[in-house]
A and B are shown apart, each in its own frame.
Chain A
Amino acid sequence: MTTTAVRTRGTARGPRDSLMSRTTAMIIMSVFTVYFLLPIWWLFVASTKSTGDILTSDPLWFADPQLLSNLGDLFAYRDGVYLRWLGNSVLYAGLGGLVATLLAGMCGYALAKYHFRGREFMFSVVLGGVLVPATALALPLFLLFSQVELTNTFWAVFLPSIVSPFGVYLTRIFAAGSVPDELLEAARLDGSGELRTFFTVSLRLMSPALVTVFLFQFVTIWNNFFLPLIMLRDEALFPVTFGLYGWNTQLNQIPELRMLVLVGALVSIIPLVVTFLSLQRFWRSGLGAGAVK
């Protein structure tokens, strides 16, 4: 079929085609939505069941819902160690994400707006960092942290989390496009120092990109499993993902943990959902801004 033919048919039966393509799009999207939401639905339903019912009742429908008592059990188990883990995760991911965003923003801004010797080389090195998977760095990091006796501490997970080469890349591209040189020139003429310009002018212009970087980094840290696995021994420092994993490996021995793992998993996705919903407004404008330029 040639392009002309398509075009002719397209104009002749435009409305119908668009209805059809809309329907098709809707169907495809609905299928994917169901596909993505089904596991969450399963998780929610399973979280409301007793340990016995999880295995024996219909996996996609309720049986004697007891979500509240399950939640009570979860928060009470071993003196509320779960809440501690959740708090740790929020701290690692929230604080780590913020610091990482700030550092990446500064770095990307500097690479975009200042001309200095070795700039492109430095940028290439950072880009190289994007290609190295975090998992591959975990063991070297462990040996490094062992040398300075920082393993099994808060810093062992926090320090590696505040680095985001991808963030540097994104903010550089974004700063180059969205922070006009003229504006910086004007700020300088008005006597503003470089740092002040960065924090009062540039940072705001870059905010959509920064939100994106923060979200990415937040999710990355939240889901980072291998690093805590290698670095931490003290249960009081575990993030929630690693703590749940530990419980999950003990199911053969203590089958009652199954219910706690499921409820724990359900609760642990809430902070992610909240973060996304509250920041997605910025995120959308961030991705769009890059697209039209």
Chain B
Amino acid sequence: MKHMRKAAVVALLSSFALAACSSGDEGSEAAASGSGADAAGGACAPAGEDVTLSFTTWIPGIEGVVDIWNEQNPDIQVEVQTGPNGLGGTYQNFFNQIEAGNAPDLGQIEYDALPNFRVQGGLEDLSACEDVVAAESEFVEWTWSQVTLGEESSIYGIPQDSGPMAMFYRKDLFEENGIEIPTTWDEYAEAAAQVREAGGYITNFSQTDINQFAGFVWQADGQWFSTEGDEWTVELDSDPSLAVADYWQGLLDEDLVATYPAWTDEWNNAYNSSEVWTWVSAVWGANSIASGAPDTAGNWAVAPAPQWEEGGTDAGNWGGSSTAVLKGSEHMYEATKFALWLNTSEEALTALNEAANLYPATIAGLELPVLKEGVEFYDDQPIYDVFAEAAKQVVPDFTWGPTMTQVYADASDGFKAAATGSGTLAEALTTGNQKTIDALNAQSIPVAE
């Protein structure tokens, strides 16, 4: 009998942890039902005592920037935690943590993911904070509309950085071959044919960077989503969107653009070996070229993006993040104080630019001394002047949908097929439109017919 009791102990000991696992489901239900209650928030008042904020982001080197704040503000200390980028897991973690009621006070959220968090009720509305409301005029207009999500009286984050688009091009190759630098998309298509004759490709059409394509649609004054009250309208196949798709389809059909998968070695190599001559991309692309195509140093220049109408001045945007206060934070006042400092003060913006090449979203930030210098890789051209112009010309009011991950995935599937010759980009958008509506319906998000 004695050894049997001990046996039971041994066995129980080993299976204890296992039992803990299997009861996890109950745990999650309990947490889910509990998470509704703790959403106090709403007020934007100082805590009246020393506060420690947690801030999750994936900006490399941000610790140094936060240290500056912590030294100056002993009463509001910020603990920064860095992890993988948003789609790499941090967004999913935010959702899990919001559900469990232990989300960080502040989180980095890209503009295209904000509506998702808004729809899931994961964000605090910052419009209760006077400082935040007053800060609107400091930001480039369109970046502010990216965080208000088209709502009159709500603010869901502080714009952090932006990605205005312009055209990187190989000025040496264009010069040698006597090709004019295109200023409209029509000229761009003509140049594409000339470049092809010279043995190159004018650019690479990326099937996977759907947000680059969205930037093109954005520039063409197109919309993919709009909201009226709680209802969403999905218009991936709106006229401007289809026009952009047809334009690129034309280039694809005539084999005037390369179709390497973006961000791969082949893609870098295509730029490095002078096979591909231009890239209409965001401001942060300056670094991608410099690192991916080191052999071409000194041969690149930057010009405004080609226009749909002659003499036009519209720009698109690709990328950019906000600093949001996540649901359940008890220190909205302090959190917004820090977020405003981080994203508007010259010292923070300069430090962020130096640490991670972030391009500011404030009007004053576009004129930072560090952004006035010539860049060696671009033959000492002060390239950021071009982007500062573009930043002011980005079409306002482009709206992201609440299920962008799904939109990107579905559109990317269609785009890949189009790049290999089966189907067209326009078909991909039409199919994507229907799949997006299905996805919204599946999540019980109201869709306007």
Q: Please give the residue numbers on chain A whose beta carbons come within 8 Å of chain B beta carbons, in ascending order.
A: 51-52, 55-56, 59, 78, 103-104, 106-111, 113-116, 119, 122, 125-126, 129, 132, 137, 139-144, 146-147, 149, 151, 159-160, 162-163, 165, 168, 188, 194-195, 198, 229-230, 232-235, 242, 245-246, 249-258
Contact = CB atoms under 8 A, between A and B. Distances in A.
Given A116-B8, A246-B58, A55 B292 contact: yes
B195 to A, nearest CB: 22
Nearest to B272: A56
A226 B19 CA distance: 20
In the A-B complex, list the 10 residue pairs whose CB atoms are closest, starting with the nearest.
A140-B24, A107-B14, A255-B291, A114-B7, A146-B100, A144-B27, A249-B88, A110-B10, A52-B294, A249-B85
A94 to B, nearest CB: 18
B27 A194 contact: no
Given A106-B10, A144-B20, A163-B21, 13 more contacts: A55-B268, A115-B4, A126-B18, A140-B27, A142-B96, A144-B28, A146-B31, A146-B102, A160-B21, A230-B92, A253-B287, A255-B287, A256-B291
Interface stretch (B76-84, B217-225, B226-234): B76-84
B120 interface: no
A188 to B, nearest CB: 8
A233 B90 CA distance: 9
* Residue of B14, B17, B32, B263 with highest tally of chain A CB at under 10 A: B14
B56 interface: yes
Contacts of B15: 107, 122, 125-126, 168
Of the listed residues A140, A163, A188, A233, the one surrounded by the most CB atoms of chain B closer than 10 A to its CB is A233
Nearest to A246: B84
Contact of A230 (B7, B27, B96): B96
Given A252-B288, A255-B291, A146 B83 contact: no
A194 B272 contact: no
B282 to A, nearest CB: 10
B93 A229 contact: yes
A144 B102 CA distance: 12
21 contacts: A55-B272, A55-B294, A56-B269, A56-B295, A107-B14, A116-B7, A116-B11, A125-B15, A126-B18, A137-B21, A140-B21, A142-B96, A142-B100, A146-B102, A195-B6, A230-B89, A233-B93, A235-B83, A246-B84, A250-B60, A252-B263
A144 B82 CA distance: 23
Interface of B: 2-4, 6-8, 10-11, 13-15, 17-18, 20-25, 27-28, 30-32, 54, 56, 58-61, 63, 81-85, 88-89, 92-93, 96-97, 99-102, 104, 263, 265, 268-269, 272, 284, 287-288, 290-292, 294-295, 356-357
Given A146-B31, A229-B93, A245-B88, A111 B100 contact: no
Contacts of B265: 55, 59
Given A107-B14, A233-B104, A234-B81, A113 B7 contact: yes
Contacts of A233: 54, 56, 81, 83, 93, 104
A129 to B, nearest CB: 5
A200 to B, nearest CB: 15
Contacts of A253: 59-60, 284, 287, 356-357
Contacts of B7: 110, 113-114, 116, 194
Nearest to A256: B291
B333 to A, nearest CB: 23
Contacts of A111: 11
Contacts of B88: 245-246, 249
A144 B10 contact: no
| Central interface residue in A126, A146, A149, A242, by most chain B CB within 10 Å | A146
A230 B102 CA distance: 13
Contacts of A108: 14
A114 to B, nearest CB: 3
A162 B81 CA distance: 27
A144 B295 CA distance: 53
B266 to A, nearest CB: 10
Contact of A246 (B23, B30, B83, B284): B83
Contact of B18 (A129, A146, A151): A129
B194 to A, nearest CB: 27
Contacts of A229: 83-84, 89, 93
A198 B3 CA distance: 11
Nearest to A193: B6
A115 to B, nearest CB: 7
A254 B356 contact: yes
B10 A107 contact: yes
Nearest to A142: B96
A115 B3 CA distance: 10
Contacts of B58: 246, 249-250
A233 B292 CA distance: 31
Nearest to B85: A249
A256 to B, nearest CB: 7
Contact of B27 (A103, A147, A232): A147
A151 B7 CA distance: 33
A255 B292 contact: yes
A110 B11 CA distance: 6
Contacts of A122: 11, 15
Nearest to B4: A116
Given A110-B7, A114-B7, A165 B291 contact: no
